[in-house]
Amino acid sequence: MRFQLLSKALLYSVAFLGCVAALAPASWPQTPSPAKQVRARQLGVPFDGQPGPLDAITDVAGVEVGSTTLISGNGPLKVGEGPVRTGVTAILPRGHGDTAPVYAGWFSLNGNGEMTGTTWVEESGLLAGPVAITNTHSVGIVRDAVIAWGLKHGVVGDEWSLPVVAETWDGYLNDINGFHVKPEHVFSALDGAHGGAVAEGNVGGGTGMVCYGFKGGTGTASRKLTADLGGYTVGVLVQCNCGRRPQLTIAGVPVGREIPDGAPYAGVATPAGLPGSEASGDVGSIIIVIATDAPLLPHQLKRLARRASLGLARTGSSSGNGSGDIFLAFSTANRGADKTPGPNSVLTVSNERISPLFTATVEATEEAIVNAMVAAETMTGRDGHTVNALPHEQLMQTLKKYNR
């Protein structure tokens, strides 16, 4: 029976891949060039720590990121037709040329969300294949497409796969029940993944997201430790869709309280007479992926994933009941740690030397969230719902007011 099921899966994959090859990705909306996007540091936002050359998760050698952005239609919601404001983001831990698994660990700060495959990450300490992030109701199709892509590229081992796919909810702007993310969009994000600069804001899985009442989305940042601390790199990528306007804090400044209210909170409109939607609690979600070249074991990577909570807290979130805040950390070191039959030798950073990596994670997480908001642009989606971008000029004025 297992062989028959596998055979059917392979036949389906071959047929599916033929369909994908016949499609024309050029007809899809193009992802904005990272070179044209404004980043928080360009506005003078002060952050702690030293970033890598790109200030992105791709500063960790081998890591590649790709995305497919879907934007079409306007006006009233017609389920199955649009408007569409969504997409998918893909992260390849070792890039296209290396399918070896990586050590990994994950952590759920608040579990009102989904990240598939984490049961096996917890059990095995390994992540095999890419990580994908999309909207809440597209997790299933993205997961299946990642498996099909893995079969094509030889990533799937032992005839089974439990890919890691995470989500945040974009239903305020997007026809989320229309299931507009298709397998070919996942293939496009995976095949198009690359090193170098990473597109931010209204791109990929972050296309339709809202963060602290402003337009949210995809953001990234990195930190490079000095040689005396090991010289390691930590990179972070976030898909942020969390928080309420009054909570927003940037570089220690209460930006959310200084800029007038009126936007929704992660898709939940502000109730009349309740400025800041204080009664609704912290809603929305955030997915955080942390990469490092430091040789860390799975339990140490879980510790690293926990520290993303502190970077999130720096921006003001309290991770309320309605928020799905789920974090994954992996290390590109120790290639071959899973070779059979073993035993295998691995390296690890001493626990007495791990604190700088914790600090780097906190700092890069904070900056990645702010980068997502700075890069995001005002967007109008289903039923005329509009979410305004974080206004750059007002942000700079507010920071100046607080001598930041």
> Any catalytic annotation for residue 170?
no
**323 a catalytic residue:** yes
Supply the pTM of this predicted model. Answer: 0.90
Tokens of 398: 């507010």
Exactly one of 285, 309, 319, 331 is catalytic; name it.
285
Q: Is residue 276 pLDDT above 70, yes or no?
A: no
List the beta bridge partners of residue 72: 84
Q: Dump pLDDT digits (tens) for 171-180.
A: 999 999 999 9
Domain interval for residue 234: 2-401
The answer to whether 266 and 206 are in contact (CB under 8 A) is no
Of the residues 13, 277, 323, 331, only one is catalytic, namely 323
Torsion of CA 252, 197, 223, 237, to 10 degrees: 70
Q: Are 330 and 301 in contact (CB under 8 A)?
A: yes
What pLDDT sits at residue 24? 36
Judge whether residue 9 has pLDDT over 60.
no
Q: What is the pLDDT of residue 188?
A: 98
pLDDT exceeds 70 at position 392 = yes
Name the more confident of 326 and 342.
326
- What's the pLDDT at 271? 38
Q: How does residue 32 score in pLDDT terms, banded at 50, 70 and 90?
A: low
Q: Which residues pair with 361 in a beta bridge?
A: none
Look-up: residue for tokens 């700079």? 396
Listed in sequence order, the DSSP H helices in 53-117 are: none
pLDDT at 52 over 80: yes
Percent of the chain with pLDDT over 70: 86
CA distance 258 to 191: 43
331 assigned to active site:
no
pLDDT of res. 402: 97
Contact indicator for 170, 86 with CB cutoff of 8 Å: yes
pLDDT of residue 29: 52
Question: How distant is the alpha carbon of residue 156 from its chain centre?
Answer: 22
Give Cα separations from 328 to 72, 93, 117, 137, 139 (angstroms). Answer: 31, 12, 11, 20, 16
306 has a pLDDT exceeding 70: yes
User: Quick one: pLDDT at residue 31?
Assistant: 56
Q: In this predicted structure, what is the pLDDT of residue 154?
A: 82
How many structural domains comprise the chain? 1
Calculate mean pLDDT across residues 73-77.
Answer: 98
Q: What is the pLDDT of residues 188-198, one digit of tens each?
A: 999 999 999 99
pLDDT of residue 153: 87
- Interhelix angle 2-22/183-191, nearest 10 degrees: 80
Write the CATH number for 276. 3.60.70.12
Q: What is the end-to-end Cα distance of the chain in Å, rounded?
A: 65
pLDDT reported for residue 205: 98
Catalytic residue among 161, 325, 331, 338: 325
In this predicted structure, the answer to whether residue 323 has a pLDDT above a threshold of 70 is: yes
- Check residue 159 and give its pLDDT: 77
Cα dihedral angle (174, 167, 70, 78), rounded to 10 degrees? -30
Query: Quick one: pLDDT band at residue 274, thresholds 50, 70, 90?
Result: very low
Beta bridge pairs of residue 324 = 111, 285
Average pLDDT of the residues in 244-260: 94
3-class SS letters over 123-146: HHCEECCCEEEEEHHHHHHHHHHH
Contact 298, 105 (CB under 8 A): yes
Q: If you average pLDDT over every residue of the chain, what do you get?
A: 89
Q: What is the pLDDT of residue 284?
A: 87
The kind and range of the H/E element at 107 are strand 102-111
Predicted local confidence at residue 94, as pLDDT: 97
Q: How far apart are CA 290 and CA 300, in angstroms?
A: 13
